[in-house]
Amino acid sequence: MSDPRQPLRSRLVANVHGFVQGVGFRWYVEHEASRLGLDGWVANQSDGSVEVVAEGRPDVLERLVAALWQGPPGASVRDVRWRHEPARGNIAGFAIRSAAHRGD
């Protein structure tokens, strides 16, 4: 049973650090987020990290954070920094974006 005090949707903004580029990490995140029914995007960053923005139920977003810590075979996740924000509702589906894309 869901907690009526918990918001229906929240926004997760996460940065994943470690050996996370060139190992299929963005594809992995897209697959996991889509499987969980989340909306958002994932993109490589110039500092070698991967940024993830996802919207959905807070309990489902926590499952995505756990998946970020695991990563795909070949990845080595050193740190995941994340925060929750109010959902904006301006994203539909989940996509891989280029590093040149900023925001939504």
Q: In angstroms, rounded to a whole number, what is the distance separating the alpha carbons of residues 40 and 57?
A: 13
At 66 the pLDDT is: 98
Would residue 33 count as lying in a domain? yes
Annotated catalytic residue within 5, 9, 44, 57: 44
Render the burial of 22-59: b for 16+ CB within 10 Å, e for the rest: ebbbbebbbebbeebebbbbbbbeeeebbbbbbbbbbe
Domain that holds residue 29: 10-97
What total number of domains does the chain contain? Answer: 1
Q: Which residues of the chain have pLDDT under 50?
A: 1
Which pLDDT score, from 0 to 100, does residue 102 have? 56
Find the catalytic residue in 9, 26, 97, 102: 26
Instruction: Please report, for the domain that includes residue 92, its CATH number.
Output: 3.30.70.100
